[in-house]
Structure 1
Amino acid sequence: MFYRIVLIHGFFKTYKDMKNLEEYLTNMGYQVDNLNFPLTFPKLEISVELLKNYLLDIKSKKLNESEEIVLIGAGFGGILIRETLKDSQLKGIVDKIILISSPINDSKLLRRLKRIFVFIDFIFQPLSIYQKIRKDKVSFDKNIEVGLLIGTETEGFFGSWLGEFNDGLVDLKDADLKDIKDKVLIPITHKEIHRKIGTARYINNFIAKGKFKLE
């Protein structure tokens, strides 16, 4: 089996934030595409269109039927994946999704920040998507294997605003999903979880065996 891994960074970040993970996975023998999106000020729809076109291009050029496409989203990158894959044109392209501390359900931090900075999601427009997704049930195509890596080591000022279990920016409840292939909680902060070689090893296990932790 041949795997193409696609890395998708989070809010207020660029592809550079995923360079460590790209290096680790490349050294493990994977083909890795580390993509860049405008996930700071422009509307999320712009990034959705970019990711959609990338996936359709892969579909048009896919010559090897044994190739599997693995999307890995860090933080808000998971939201980008979720919104993009709602498009029926993309059905059957993606085989696996791994979300790394992704506030896929909601963002408790954003809700609390909005009490102080009312217009925060008008300035940082990608965040306005939460007004919509809070009303939606999170779901992915049942044929896609979904795995969650979630940090639980809190830190900093924002961490004190959140629940008992958070990684400094994302509350555990906001990142958790039911009916997935596998999940592992890691005692590490949001800023570091995607930069550790241990995270790359978990990813390798999930891709190869469908589980993050192997017996």
Structure 2
Amino acid sequence: MTDTIVLLHGIRRTSASMRKFENHLQAQGYITRNLDYPSTRYPIERLAEIVAEEVEEAADNNREGRLHLIGHSMGGLVIRAMLKNYRPSNLGRVVMVGTPNNGSQVADFLKKVPLYKAAFGPAGQQLVTDQSTFAHIFGPVDFELGIIAGTRTIDPVSSLIIGHQITNDGKVTVESTRLAGATDHIAIAANHTFIPSNKVMWTQALSFIRDGKFLR
């Protein structure tokens, strides 16, 4: 029995950012669906509806196997919003990589900057730490969820915004990735932008997909 893994990239990225990871997953025997979605055009709840259509198709194409979901950065938030309203009957496990489940201080700092607003669109305004106006788009974590956080920053400006004393990946703090109900959580030495190509992340994500836990 072969399982399917659906991959979701982060904001202002494309499926190309997940391509090396996808190739690795295929080499391990998985069917993959590496989605492109208009991450800067709509708010997260609308993106979830768009993604749900493709996830449903991927699930229908492999009803005998399980369907797992892996999201980088905002891709993890899109997964959360999607699973509130649509859940494949053959849902397996979910992995979030560098996902700002509690927002990002960088988005707080930039949210009113015109260039940021234009470049990141409606969803960019939902990456802030004050989630009071849109928390309703997410449901409870009642599925198997593994979260991978990064601890390496290479951006001095973002580090200054977040604070050098707070462990982060250059965009998201380790604490912000945490989510009540998650099955497992691990932090690795990786940067937010480049974590999709990080082979340690690949190993940890596959460990959770296969066994429901990370390697220690």
User: Equivalents in 2 of 1:204, 1:122: separation in Å?
Assistant: 36
User: Equivalents in 1 of 2:154, 2:144: separation in Å?
Assistant: 31
Listed one character per residue, the Cα deviations across residues 111-153 of structure 1 (whole Å, up to 9, x for unaligned) are: 11136x16844661222334798123865442x2100110011
User: Equivalents in 1 of 2:151, 2:129: separation in Å?
Assistant: 27
Cα 1:109–1:179 shift into 2, 3 Å: same
User: Is 1:107 equivalent to 2:104 in the alignment?
Assistant: yes
User: Equivalents in 1 of 2:115, 2:198: separation in Å?
Assistant: 34
> What runs of 5+ residues in structure 2 fail to find an aligned partner?
none
Is the CA contact 1:55–1:93 (under 8 Å) kept in the aligned structure 2?
no
Q: 2:95 aligns with which of 95, 98, 108?
A: 98
1:118-133 map, 5 Å? 120-121=116-117, 124-130=121-127
Letter in 1 for 2:82: T
User: Equivalents in 2 of 1:187, 1:132: separation in Å?
Assistant: 23
Report the TM-score, using the length of structure 2 for normalisation: 0.85
Q: 1:63: Cα distance to partner? A: 3.5
Q: How many residues align?
A: 209
Is the CA contact 2:39–2:47 (under 8 Å) kept in the aligned structure 1?
yes
Partner of 1:150: 149
Is the CA contact 1:55–1:90 (under 8 Å) kept in the aligned structure 2?
no
User: Equivalents in 2 of 1:72, 1:58: separation in Å?
Assistant: 14
Letter in 1 for 2:177: A
Is the CA contact 1:24–1:197 (under 8 Å) kept in the aligned structure 2?
no
Letter in 2 for 1:165: T
Q: 1:6: Cα distance to partner? A: 0.4
Report the TM-score, using the length of structure 1 for normalisation: 0.86
Q: 1:78: Cα distance to partner? A: 0.9
Secondary structure of 1:86's counterpart equals helix
Partner of 2:24: 24
1:48-197 map, 5 Å? 48-64=48-64, 67-87=65-85, 89-90=86-87, 92-114=89-111, 117=113, 120-121=116-117, 124-130=121-127, 134-135=131-132, 136=135, 139-142=139-142, 144-156=143-155, 157-163=157-163, 164-197=166-199
Secondary structure of 1:155's counterpart equals coil
User: Equivalents in 2 of 1:207, 1:145: separation in Å?
Assistant: 9
Q: 1:211: Cα distance to partner? A: 1.3
Secondary structure of 2:39's counterpart equals coil
Cα 1:210–1:154 shift into 2, 3 Å: same
User: Equivalents in 2 of 1:61, 1:28: separation in Å?
Assistant: 19
Is the CA contact 2:141–2:182 (under 8 Å) kept in the aligned structure 1?
no
Q: CA RMSD in A?
A: 2.5
Is the CA contact 1:121–1:127 (under 8 Å) kept in the aligned structure 2?
yes
Listed one character per residue, the Cα deviations across residues 18-77 of structure 1 (whole Å, up to 9, x for unaligned) are: 11111111111111110001112344344222211123334544531xx11111000111
